[in-house]
Amino acid sequence: MSSSDQTASTSFNAPDCSQIQLNEHGRLHHFLTPQNLSKDILTEIMDVAESFSSVANQAVKKVPVLRGKTIVNLFFENSTRTRTTFELAAKRLSADVININVATSAASKGESVLDTIRTLEAMQVDMFVVRHADSGTAHFIARNVAPHVSVINAGDGSHAHPTQAMLDMFTIRRVKKDFSKLKVAIIGDILHSRVARSEIHALNILGAKEVRVIAPNTLLPIDAKALGVTVFNDLESGLDDVDVVIMLRLQRERMHGALLPSENEYFDRFGLTEEKLAYTKSDVTVMHPGPINRGVEMAASVADGPNSVVLQQVTNGIAVRMAVMTLILGQNRQVVGAE
Ligand code: CP
């Protein structure tokens, strides 16, 4: 675990999660990053999510898939969407859910992350959902929990946000169907974005035709091209003919030093407006993981416009998180979608 969040720089060595995420049968045991997972696993997450999406329309929004399981939400960093949809997803699966309020927990008295985990583990929990400002924290916890306990990374520093990436892939698949035909542009603060990293991995695994990043050089990792993307520094060329646009928030809490001119100048060059949307395909899908800073990374008219699927992303997050928790903890994975 890094001691401070300098992780978006090229000096950050992402933890190798590939040895730890899968069990001896090649099934998900932890979900820390989409990197190095197979297309089959990512597709299975989306397929199971599809089967769960109708649960929200039932009179009783519950299925008994994880009855008797205990899931702990442990968010050391603030969240609205991720924490709430993980809680809803677990409750819809009939699991017992504990939300630890870190601000009022013994962490505020100096208890370490590991001691917090060991204390909660002594209460026979089955899964931790962890968000932390330091990259590698979820991986660190996964290496230190008991073998029967699983960890889902709900965002670690600038490293990964795998369930956000998967809900975005699920949203794209629902609208556009075939990844192999898609040009996808990710715009904004790539340097600090765990969402961008996980989306780039997922899009490449799923076979997207082209993944572009569009940003000023100060908000790009030096090794951006090594991530498997085409790099652009302006919207006019970067947005040309794209099918999907994913906007990112400027993550000021992770910025060290002056990486930007004013927000107004940033919006002029990289903010998505209706005029700039004209560079894309006419049926472009506009996405944002949230929270949105309207007038900084995108105009309100675009965020709320006909091409935006921002709120569908939020809704889809419940089904995707149900799918991930089920694939990890569910006892009868083959029939779970039929329940
Ligand atoms: N997209 C996302 O992670 O949002 P929250 O910070 O509200 O969870």
pLDDT at 333 over 70: no
pLDDT at 63 over 80: yes
Mean pLDDT, residues 273-301 taken together: 96
Domains of the chain: 3-161+315-329 (3.40.50.1370), 162-312 (3.40.50.1370)
Say what the pLDDT of residue 5 is.
36
Say what the pLDDT of residue 339 is.
38
Q: How confident is the model at residue 331 (pLDDT cuts 50, 70, 90)?
A: low
Say what the pLDDT of residue 89 is.
98
Say what the pLDDT of residue 16 is.
75
Quote the ligand 1 centre to 41 CA distance (angstroms).
23
Quote the ligand 1 centre to 4 CA distance (angstroms).
21
**Structure tokens that stand for 235 in this block:** 């919207």
Phi, psi of 151 (to 5 degrees): -130, 130
pLDDT at 307 over 50: yes
Cis peptide leading into residue 291 (ω within 30°): yes
- Beta-carbon contacts of 70 under 8 Å, excluding residues fewer than 6 positions away, are 95, 96, 97, 98, 123, 124, 125, 126, 127
Quote the ligand 1 centre to 25 CA distance (angstroms).
32
Q: CB count, 10 Å around CB of 222?
A: 11
Task: List pLDDT tens digits, range 146-161.
Answer: 999 999 999 999 999 9
Alpha helical stretches, state H, the chain? 39-52, 81-92, 113-121, 137-144, 162-176, 194-205, 235-238, 263-270, 274-277, 300-303, 310-329
Substitution site in 78, 81, 83 for ligand 1 pocket (most atoms within 8 Å of beta carbon):
81
Q: How confident is the model at residue 31 (pLDDT cuts 50, 70, 90)?
A: very high
Mean pLDDT of all residues belonging to the chain: 91
The C-alpha atoms of residue 134 and residue 153 are separated, in whole angstroms, by 12
Select from 272, 325, 269, 327 the least CA-distant residue to 297: 272
Mean pLDDT, residues 40-52 taken together: 98
Substitution site in 80, 194, 309 for ligand 1 pocket (most atoms within 8 Å of beta carbon):
80
Task: List pLDDT tens digits, range 215-224.
Answer: 999 999 988 8
* Nearest atom within ligand 1 for CA of residue 289: 1
pLDDT at 139 over 70: yes
84-111 residues labelled b (16+ CB within 10 A) or e (exposed): ebbbbbbbbbebebebbebeeeebeeee
